[in-house]
Structure formats: structure tokens, C-alpha cells
Structure 1
Amino acid sequence: MEGCVHISVQNHDFDITHEQANLLAQNKNIGALVSFTGLCRDESGRLDALEIEHYPGMAEAQIEKIALSAKERFSLDAVRIIHRFGMIKPGENIVLVIAASRHRNAAFEAASFLMDYMKTNAPFWKKEHLKNGASGHWVSSRASDDQAKKRWNEE
């Protein structure tokens, strides 16, 4: 990975506090750190687990490309992204995005940009497993995700 861009696609959970501390230990010039954690919802009590699959190698490469774009666009000092795969229970972590910069606006904007692009461009697939034992469906992409990403092209 290039410079202060760290990408991980992993099966095991992550510790947000640990990840933030590691990032800050590497750069004492950071003035703002914005973190986003995406969690598995229980979908009003009907979901037992969400199964996330990815395209190994391609997922990491695509996330790195998005991260490097954000780093340049927002003059970030560091980016840390972790995306999990496998069976994830409601309430568990799915994704962590940390954007670090000298100023808060860049960090806030970058975190939003990173999630908008990862939702639409990173090769992950999600399948619902329902509490009633039925096999759920593969989750389709939403038009709202495409619309959220589109706003970055208009700026």
C-alpha cells in the first residue's frame, strides 16, 4: 500500500480504538480524525446473519484505488479501511473507514466520499440469512447509493 493508506479485507472483527491509536501513532501532525463504522442491522428482527462475499485481490485493489483517490482529493494524511467478509451477525462490525487530515472538513468529506464509492465500486456481495431458517436473497444495489456517489462528480 502507498504511504499512509492501509487496506484490510478480513474475516475477523476489528477494534476501532486500536485502529485509531495505530493510525495516530504513525503521524503526530493529524488535526482531525473521522471514523465511520458500518454495522450489520437485524432488519426489524428478521435477520439472523449477513453473509458477505468478495472477490479476493480485486476487492483490495479497488478499495486501495478509492482510498488513494480520496487521499489526493482531500489532502489526507492517512486513510485506514477495513472491510469484513463471511457470516456477520446483527450488531457486529462490517466496515471501518478512518480519514485523517490536518482539518476537520477534509476528514468529514473524505469519509463520506470513501463510503459512497465503496458502496458502489468495491466488489462485495451480501446475502441475507433469515431467523426463520429460510435462505434470504442476495441484497441488490440501491439507486440511492448511486445517487450518493454521483454528487462527488458534480462538485
Structure 2
Amino acid sequence: MTDILITLYPWTKAFHIMSVISWMAGLFYLPRLFVYHVEQSMPGDSRDEVFQTMEQKLLRVIMTPAMIATWLFGLMLVFTPGIVDWGSVWPYLKGASVIAMTGFHEWLGARRKDFMTGSNRLTGRQFRLMNEVPTVLMVLIVLSVVIKF
């Protein structure tokens, strides 16, 4: 099995990078959609329906498959011999950050359900602040992998 992972390493790394880019794009965009949703519509109006459709498709068609692919290819990289130095701090920091990113993804899914039921209580400002979470996590992940501290 490890021979296959070593042979596939460049492909695995390429697909991991592509899936991360797709997932991150959604993590940056969905909170922004929530800002516009809360500021430019009321529950039940025609704009509310349009925002809900956009949010649902972004989450279910793009973000969730990209997250799954990110995890799949990331785990393949972890199990490829010689890639991860378990004596360093960086794999643990990256792992914790990816788990936090997954938690943020799930939090966004819960907020989408709030809009569906008309029970959203967060403001545009609060969604703007939450939009910084994936940026902070991305910085931690990229620095940990590139600097390898």
C-alpha cells in the first residue's frame, strides 16, 4: 500500500491543493452571502428564497464535496511515507486547524438552517466578523506546512 501512495504522491498533492482551494473559496463566500442575506431580505420574501437557494447549492454542491476531498487527499498525504515529520509541531498544528475549519464548515451549515426556518438571530456585522475565522485558520495551516516549525 505504501508503494502506491509514494507513486501517487504528486497526484495526491495536486488534488489536495485543488480541493483545498475549492473549499476555502466557499468558506470565504458563504459568510458573505449570509451578510447580504440578513441585510437585504426578510424571511419569506423573494430575495430570501434566492439567497437560500444560493447558500444551499454552495454548501451542498461545492463546499461539502470539496471538504471531503480535502480530507481524503490530506489523509493520503499523511499516510505517505516520509511526508510528515511527527517529531515536529507543524503536523499537530495543521491537524488542529483543519479540524477547526471543519467545525466552522458545520457551523455555517447550522446557520443556513437558521435562515431556512426563519430563526436567524445574527447580524451582518457578526457574519462579517465570522468571515475572518477561515482566514486565520488558513494562515496557521499554510505557515505550519511551509515553515514546518
Using the size of structure 1 for normalisation, the TM-score is 0.29
- In our comparison, the structure showing a higher alpha carbon Rg is 2
Structure (1/2) with the larger strand percentage: 1
Structure (1/2) with the larger helix percentage: 2
Q: Which has the higher contact order (CA 8 A, sep 6+)?
A: 2
